[in-house]
Each structure stands twice: as C-alpha cells, then as structure tokens.
Structure 1
C-alpha cells in the first residue's frame, strides 16, 4: 500500500513544466537517480493530461495565466476529450517484441492503417506479418500520440534510430538515470528538453514521511513514530523510493521498538573492525625480518625493498580499503 501511494509531494514546477511540454509537443527527457520519482512525475502529468486528476491547480485557466499562452488552455481541453493517446515502451525487450506491442496498441485504438498485415486468430490473439518502423509511423501520423520510454539508457542503436524517426510524428517522453557519453546517445539527447530531478528538499521529505507514517503506520505510539521518522530522514537523503521502502519494511514488522532500531544501528557501527593497517604492518614486518636475515650488503636486499615498495603501492592503489572499502572481519 505504501509503495503504491499516489499522494503528490514537491516537484510542483517540474510537473507543470512537463505538462506544458506534453501539450506543446516538446520531447522531454527526465534525468535523475533511480527511485527519485521520474516515473511518478510522468504518471501524474499523464493523469492531468487525461483529466483524471487536477493536481496543484493545473487547469486550462491556470496554465494560460501562468505561462501567458492561451494555446495551453485549448490543448488541455482537447486532451480531456481523449484526443491524446499514450503508448508505454519497455526498452528491456527485443526490438521485435517492442514493435509487436506497439502495433497491437495501435490496432486496439483502431489507428493501424495496414489491416491487411494483421490476422485475428481463433483464440483472439493477433498475428502480425510485418513488424517495422514505417508501419508504426504511418499509423500514428497526425493522431496526437505520446510515447513513454522508461530507462532510455537501455536503448540499442536500432531503437535509438526508431525513436528519432518517431519524433516528427509523436511526442516523446523519456527517463534516464544518467546521461551517457557515447556519440549515438549524445545525438539522441540533443532532441530533448531536459528536466533534472534532484533529491526532495528537507521540508518536503518531512511532509512525505509524516504523511506515510500517519496514514499507514498507526499502531505505534507517538514516541516511536517520531523516532522512526528521524531514522527515515537520516537514511533516505530525500529519495522518495527509499522513504517508502523503509516504511513498507517497518509496516511489515509486527512490533517496532526504538530499542530494536538503536540496537541495529549499534551493530551497524561496531560489528566490524578495520584490518587494512594490520595487513600493511604484517607485510612490512616480514620484509624487514627477511632483510635482516640476508644482510644489508646482499643484492637481494634491494630486490626485496623494491618488491615491498611495489606491494605497498599496489595495496593502497588497488584496494584503497583505507578510505573506501576496508578489509574487515567480525569482532
């Protein structure tokens, strides 16, 4: 229940911008870390476009007044009449499967213009004899389609070409966790207006956390709620998905006690000790003992010193455990 809660917090300007871009047919790329709320933002924008919700007073009058563009009012009214259609594309599938699903969606909307290539089987399934981009483009031209591509970074070279071919005929809304530096992606990104999503501000994070706790976790006392809220604020760092996941986990527990959380935090901070310095000391000690056994006049001494220097550099350079990931054992 917590994970599927659709209550909207923050992102007011980003949501308005996305709605306006969709209405004006601007291709938009939403950039942000996983779990930051990219897909949720799109879902809210689509619900506004379809007229199924009116969040943060996004109405024809409000849009026309705020953006000084009367076209937005007319376009939103047209959208509420069902004149805008949405197709979601899962880029985690093969090209053939993606084309098949798009064509089936077009057929369901009675927009597929090449019916001779479609056969309805006796069991009600659809057999498509030809699966290619021209059929899709021909079918959507002039019909106000929005294509949603989640995780654009999964797109293959062929899918990138397909998306670029779609752009003159449909509005493309896409998401990505980070911008890639390959030439083919840079070319694709150049067609998009970009909206960057960052972590929620502290005040918004507190409002979301309070709302979820008061709505879904009502069986614990006020003191425990406050402690739980502080723990969520500490670990979430403004990421809505982390907030919801942590509270979902808390909700699934029959009993939530602050003593349990304090105990877990204590274990987290003290269960392991750093063995990195011990490894370095052991390596140095073995080398020194070996040098003393051989003698300072022996050529092997300089060879051992060189090996010791190299191994010390390798330990610090590759393992970097002294700063990031430390060799550890349980106490």
Structure 2
C-alpha cells in the first residue's frame, strides 16, 4: 500500500495522479462499473489535510477532502451530479444575502457535502466515519482525514496598530487577489503575515488508521505544498513525524516548485525566515525524507544543503512526476 499526504492544490493534484496510476495498475474498469467488493486491496491511501477546514453558515467545509473526493479513481458517476459540481447558484444566493463571504465560493456539491457532514457531526459521527459515508474506498484508493479533531490554520497580520488573525483560506484569498480586491475589510490583504498558528492542534490527535497507514506503507509520498498552513500542521499532530521517521517505507518528498501552488506560500514561509525554494522548503522536512524530487536546476543546491537526503531531478508533468515518485521509492510501476 502506498500513502500520500495531500494538502492544498499541489498535494491534491499529485494524489490524483498517483491514484490514477495505481488504480489503473489494479485493472480499474474504464466503463464506470466497479470491480466486485474485495476484488483487490488498497493500492493507495490518501491522507487529506484538515488544517484548512472551516465553518461558514453553520456548515463544516473540508476543502482538501471535498476536492479529493472528486478525483476519477474515487468518483461514483451514479452518485454525484456533474450539474451540482459546476453550479454555484446556492453560493451566489448566500453571498448576495451576506451569509457567505465573497472570498469563499463553494459549488453546490461542496455545499451538499457540507450539509450532510454538519448534520452527521451534530449527531456525534466522527469525521473519519463521515468520510467513509461520503467517499467510500473505490478502485483500491482510500481517502482518510488526518485528524478527527478540528484544527484550523490562522494567519496573523498587522493591521495598523493591531494584530488580526484570519483563517488561512481568507488570508490566502486576500494575498492572491491583489490590492483593492479584499472586500469590506479594507487593505488587510496587503499586510504581511507575522505569525501562522494552528488553533486546536495541541488537543488534536491523528485520525484512526493514519499512523498505521504510514507505518505499514510500502511508499510514502510527501508533496511539500502548503508547507506552513497545511503539511506543517499535519506533521505537528502527535506521532505523525515519528511515524514518518520510523516507517520501513522510503519517504519521498516532492518540491513545491514541481506542483501547482495557491500563491500564498511564499508569504507564510517568510514568517519562518525561509523562501519558497526547493532548498528552504525541503529543510523543514529533511528529517523525515529519504528522497527528494526537485527541478533539475535545483539539484546541486539542494544536495549541498540536505546532505542526508537523496536528491533527484524530476519532471513537472504530473503523470510523469507520480511515476518518478514511485521510482524513487523503489516501488516503480
């Protein structure tokens, strides 16, 4: 079983490519018909970040989980409406009424998932159990939240003489929208972050199965995207970093420069006096990495800094990158 820790757009993109590659290896049907239950074991476990989950309109949204639920390997064409996935009518109405902030734009399927999730949470169902209801394993691919306890990344900015904490998603929307696009909050979007924190992290624990998946993996892939607000928080959960150090699998990191990024990572890294480079980001996770895939131009510099890690050049094409990650782990398909 292979494992990928997926946070943010880059982590989700690589997880989707790995799922496509590995589920194809299992003979995933192409006509939309599932293989019989139990016909194959898990090929890939996706551990989805939960640090950017958010409650709005009384509903619990899980951006990483909900986006990953739509990858082809996990999609049930008979259960999810493509019309709902492409429509933003509900969000537009809520935003027009002032009930939903303009910087958050879920589609109707996101809202449907949030409604179901919130109802079950109120009834005492855990996020892991809800995940199985919303996205059961398919084609050898399993999706698991990294924690059942609420953990939310917040970015602290200086606004005049005061410091204001914004949810990481709200701050990211301001950071990437440019001056004057931040809405009613004025010019907060132009403020540099002075600190990033994770509310609830000290009380949180890994969700059931997370540590066992890492310890029992044949390969662990770490896309190093969202290194501060996403992946860094996952590795802050008790036991996760130790599990990565102790697993018999090779842990393969993937440079954020090879993956889609949201655009706010550089600013959050500055709070740690680091830059958005393969070398600086890799230094945050070097203690758990056996191999590190980076752009060819970065190889020499990264090797000079991360002397204990095997550094390899890698392509930017996602399908080729997924294959390169498996090759680096010794489990090439």
Higher strand share: 2
TM score, norm. by length of structure 2: 0.21
Higher helix share: 1
